[in-house]
């Protein structure tokens, strides 16, 4: 079957183990049995096909070239796997519409996902523990992956800081930082009450700064309101700069209240003097 007319994946080429685009991604049968290259059984390898080329020196010879039908999809899957199945497992399988009290914010998030393009500013979900911020983020991650085939990295901030600390010992810290600085969409769940060390504050602050400079979409969840965030970033000039960056790259949006009206839907922070 042709990939673009597949009734099972509607041309996306893959499925997720969970509903609503959550859980691990796996290739659709239409890719695995790609009729252009022979799919998984292609003699040139998965995602490649053999073509005959002619050289003035060697005459005809066979070369493996990327399959126009399935190579791109296989690459996306590889990158998704490299990014990990990283949504919080406690929420997989739940549906976006399971919590009626979140109807307003959910509509706002769905509109944001629908309008997303690379470079779209994210937002910071602000609200007390228990209003369902992680739940919303889980479904945001799933919706972004299925609609835009984009690589989304979900990180619980506490676990990320621990991983970075272990990375110092093992020498792997640069790779971890590179990953969170460059991934197309970064979701940082639950900024801590306090950083615990200047190093943690500066490291995560540095990641946000790089993402800001390169206009990469960043979504954050936190219990802190604006005053709390200023304090979290240590106050002073640095605290003000961090708040000001966040206001542009991830404006505050309250959950548990009435609205999410301040959500940006287009790239808007280029040319800032920060």
Nearer to Zn ion, 64 or 210 (CB): 64
Which one, 50 or 247, has the nearer CB to Zn ion? 50
Smallest separation, CB 53 to Zn ion (Å) = 19
Q: Kindly report the backbone phi and psi dihedral angles of residue 244, in degrees, each rounded to the nearest multiple of 5, phi listed first.
A: -70, -40
Residues near 188 by beta carbon (within 8 Å), at least 6 away in sequence: 155, 157, 160, 204, 218, 219, 220, 221
Q: How far is the CB of 96 from Zn ion (least distance, A)?
A: 24
Number of H helices, E strands in the chain: 9, 9
Q: Which residue lies nearer to Zn ion by CB, 78 or 90?
A: 78
Tell the smallest beta-carbon distance from residue 55 to Zn ion (Å). Answer: 25
In the complex with Zn ion, the residue whose CB is nearer, 30 or 109, is 30
CB 58, min distance to Zn ion, A: 26
State both tokens at 107.
């509509």
Footprint of Zn ion on this chain (CB under 5 A)?
Answer: 6, 8-9, 28, 30, 34, 36-37, 67, 69-70
Minimum CB separation from Zn ion for residue 64, in Å? Answer: 12
Q: 126 CB contacts (<8 Å, ≥6 apart)? A: 221, 222, 223, 224, 225, 252, 253, 254, 255
**Would you say 231 and 199 are in contact if contact means Cβ atoms under 8 Å apart?**
no
Q: Which is nearer to Zn ion, 14 or 154 (CB)?
A: 14
């Amino acid at each position: 079957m042709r990939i673009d007319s597949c009734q099972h994946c509607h041309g996306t080429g893959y499925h997720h183990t969970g509903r609503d685009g959550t859980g691990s991604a796996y290739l659709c049968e239409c890719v695995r049995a790609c009729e252009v290259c022979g799919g998984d059984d292609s003699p040139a390898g998965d995602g490649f096909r053999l073509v005959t080329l002619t050289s003035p020196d060697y005459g005809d010879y066979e070369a493996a070239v990327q399959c126009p039908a399935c190579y791109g999809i296989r690459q996306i899957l590889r990158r998704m796997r490299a990014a990990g199945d990283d949504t919080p497992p406690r929420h997989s399988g739940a549906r976006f519409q399971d919590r009626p009290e979140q109807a307003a914010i959910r509509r706002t998030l769905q509109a944001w996902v629908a309008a997303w393009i690379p470079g779209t500013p994210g937002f910071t979900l602000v609200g007390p523990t228990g209003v369902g911020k992680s739940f919303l983020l889980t479904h945001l991650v799933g919706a972004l992956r299925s609609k835009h085939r984009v690589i989304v990295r979900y990180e619980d901030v506490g676990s990320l800081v621990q991983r970075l600390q272990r990375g110092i010992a093992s020498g792997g810290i640069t790779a971890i930082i590179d990953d969170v600085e460059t991934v197309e969409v970064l979701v940082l769940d639950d900024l801590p009450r306090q950083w615990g060390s200047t190093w943690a504050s500066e490291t995560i602050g540095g990641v946000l700064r790089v993402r800001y400079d390169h206009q990469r979409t960043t979504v954050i969840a936190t219990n802190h309101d604006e005053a709390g965030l200023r304090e979290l970033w240590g106050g002073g000039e640095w605290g003000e700069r961090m708040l000001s960056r966040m206001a542009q790259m991830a404006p505050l949006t309250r959950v548990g209240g009435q609205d999410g009206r301040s959500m940006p839907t287009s790239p808007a922070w280029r040319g800032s003097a920060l």
